[in-house]
Amino acid sequence: MTDAVDFLVPRDVIVAGGGNAALCAAIAARRAGKRVLVLEAAPKFYRGGNTRHTRNMRCAHDHATDTLTGPYTEEEFFDDLLRVTGGNTDQTLARHMIHLSKDMLTWIQEQGVRFQPSLGGTLSLGRTNSFFLGGGRSMLNTLYRTAESLGVDIAYDAEVVGLDIDGGTCRALTVRQGGADHRVETPVFVAACGGFEANVEWLKEGWGEKAENFLIRGTPYNRGTVTRMLIDGGMQQIGDPTQCHAVAIDARAPKFDGGIITRLDCVVFGVVVNKHAKRFYDEGEDIWPKRYAIWGRLVANQPDQIAYIVFDAPNLERFMPSLYPPISAPTLAELATKLDLDPVAFMAEIQGFNAHVVGGKPFDHTEPDGNRTEGLDIDKTNWAQKIESAPFYAYPVRPGITFTYLGVRVDAQARILMADGTPSDNMFAAGEIMAGNVLGQGYAAGIGMTIGSVFGRIAGEEAAAHV
Amino acid sequence: MSDAGAPILPHATPMLAEADRLMTVCNSCRYCEGICPVFPAMELRRAFHDADLRYLANLCHNCGACHDACQFSPPHEFDVNVPQVLAKVRNDSYAEYAWPAALQPVFRRNGLWIGLGFLVVVSAFLLGMIVVHGGDLFTAYLHPENFYALMPHNVMAALFGAAFLYMLVAIGMGALAFWRDLAGGAPAAIDLARAGHQAARLTHLDGGGPGCAGNEGQGGDPRKLWHHLTFYGFGLCFAATCIATLYHYLLGREAPYPYWDLPVVLGTLGGIGLVVGPVGLFLAKMKRPAHLWDTESRGMDVAFIAMLFATGLTGLLLAFLRHTPAMGPMLVLHLGAVMTLFLTMPYGKFVHGIYRGMALARNAWEQRRAGH
Domain co-membership, A269 together with A162: no
| Per-residue pLDDT reduced to its tens digit, A81-94 | 999 999 999 999 99
Where a domain ends, among A372, A400, A428?
A: A400
Domain co-membership, A226 together with A330: no
In the prediction, which pLDDT does A1 show?
A: 42
| Per-residue pLDDT reduced to its tens digit, A343-357 | 999 999 999 999 999
Print the SS3 string covering chain A.
Answer: CCCCCCCCCCCCEEEECCCHHHHHHHHHHHHCCCCEEEECCCCHHHCCHHHHHCCEEECCECCCCCCCCCCECHHHHHHHHHHHHCCCCCHHHHHHHHHHHHHHHHHHHHCCCCEECCCCCCHHHCCCEEEECCCHHHHHHHHHHHHHHHCCEEECCCEEEEEEEECCEEEEEEEEECCEEEEEECCEEEECCCCCCCCHHHHHHHHHHHHHHCEECCCCCCCCHHHHHHHHCCECEECCCCCEEEEEEECCCCCECCHHHHECCCHHHCEEEECCCCECCCCCCCCCCHHHHHHHHHHHCCHHHCEEEEEEHHHCCCCCCCCCCCEEECCHHHHHHHHCCCHHHHHHHHHHHHHCECCCCCCCCCCCCCCCECCCCCCCCCCCCCCCCCCEEEEEEEEEEEEECCEECECCCCEEEECCCCEEEEEEECHHHHHHHCCCCCCCCCHHHHHHHHHHHHHHHHHHHHC
Domain co-membership, A410 together with A376: no
B29 with A261: Cβ contact below 8 A: yes
Domain co-membership, A292 together with A416: no
Contacting residues of A for B39, CB less than 8 Å apart? none
Whether A315 maps to a domain, the answer reads yes
| Per-residue pLDDT reduced to its tens digit, B230-283 | 999 999 999 999 999 999 999 989 877 888 999 999 999 999 999 999 999 999
Whether A462 maps to a domain, the answer reads yes
DSSP B170-220: HHHHHHHHHHHHTT-----HHHHHHHHHHHHHTGGGGTTTT--TTTTT-SS
Domain co-membership, A69 together with A82: yes
Domain co-membership, A448 together with A372: no
Q: What angle do CA B326, B329, B333 make, to 5 degrees?
A: 130
Task: Kindly report the CATH number assigned to the domain that includes residue A367.
Answer: 3.90.700.10
Whether A20 maps to a domain, the answer reads yes
Chain A contact present for B5, CB below 8 A: yes
Chain B interface test: which of A138, A249, A262, A320 (most B C-beta within 10 Å) = A138
In the prediction, which pLDDT does B254 show?
A: 82
Whether A305 maps to a domain, the answer reads yes
More confident residue, A463 or A3: A463
Domain co-membership, A264 together with A210: no
DSSP B264-321: HHHHHHHHHHHHHHHHHHHHHHHHS-GGGS-GGGHHHHHHHHHHHHHHHHHHHHHHHS
Where a domain ends, among A356, A374, A400?
A: A400
Mean pLDDT of A459-467: 96
| Per-residue pLDDT reduced to its tens digit, B107-145 | 999 999 999 999 999 999 999 998 888 888 899 888 888
Contacting residues of B for A136, CB less than 8 Å apart? 31, 71
Chain A contact present for B66, CB below 8 A: yes
Domain co-membership, A329 together with A223: no
Following CA atoms B117, B119, B124, B127 in sequence, which dihedral angle do they give, to the nearest 10 degrees? -170
Residue among B30, B33, B217 minimizing CB distance to A141: B217
Mean pLDDT of A47-69: 96
Whether A428 maps to a domain, the answer reads yes
Report the residue of chain B nearest A50, measured CA to CA: B71
Domain co-membership, A209 together with A252: no
Q: Domains of chain B, with CATH numbers?
A: 14-97 (no CATH), 101-188+208-369 (1.20.950)
Whether A26 maps to a domain, the answer reads yes
Domain co-membership, A97 together with A163: yes
| Per-residue pLDDT reduced to its tens digit, A291-326 | 677 899 999 999 999 999 999 999 999 999 999 999
Domain co-membership, A188 together with A321: no
In the prediction, which pLDDT does B144 show?
A: 82
A117 with B34: Cβ contact below 8 A: yes
Task: Kindly report the CATH number assigned to the domain that includes residue A34.
Answer: 3.50.50.60
Rounded Cα distance between A253 and A322, Å, is 11
How many domains are contained in chain A? 2
| Per-residue pLDDT reduced to its tens digit, B151-197 | 998 999 999 999 999 999 999 999 999 999 987 678 999 999 999 99
Domain co-membership, A51 together with A171: yes
Where a domain ends, among A400, A420, A439?
A: A400
Query: Is ipTM strictly over 0.90?
Result: yes
Q: Which residues contact B165 (CB under 8 A, 6 or more apart)?
A: none
B31 with A135: Cβ contact below 8 A: yes
CA–CA min distance A1, chain B (Å): 14
CA–CA min distance B184, chain A (Å): 24
B30 with A321: Cβ contact below 8 A: no
Query: What domain range includes position A176?
Result: 13-237+405-466
Report the residue of chain A nearest B21, measured CA to CA: A323
In the prediction, which pLDDT does B1 show?
A: 55
Answer whether residue A71 shows pLDDT above 90.
yes
In the prediction, which pLDDT does A360 show?
A: 84
Residue among A136, A254, A321 minimizing CB distance to B46: A321
| CA B156 remoteness from chain centre | 25
Whether A7 maps to a domain, the answer reads no
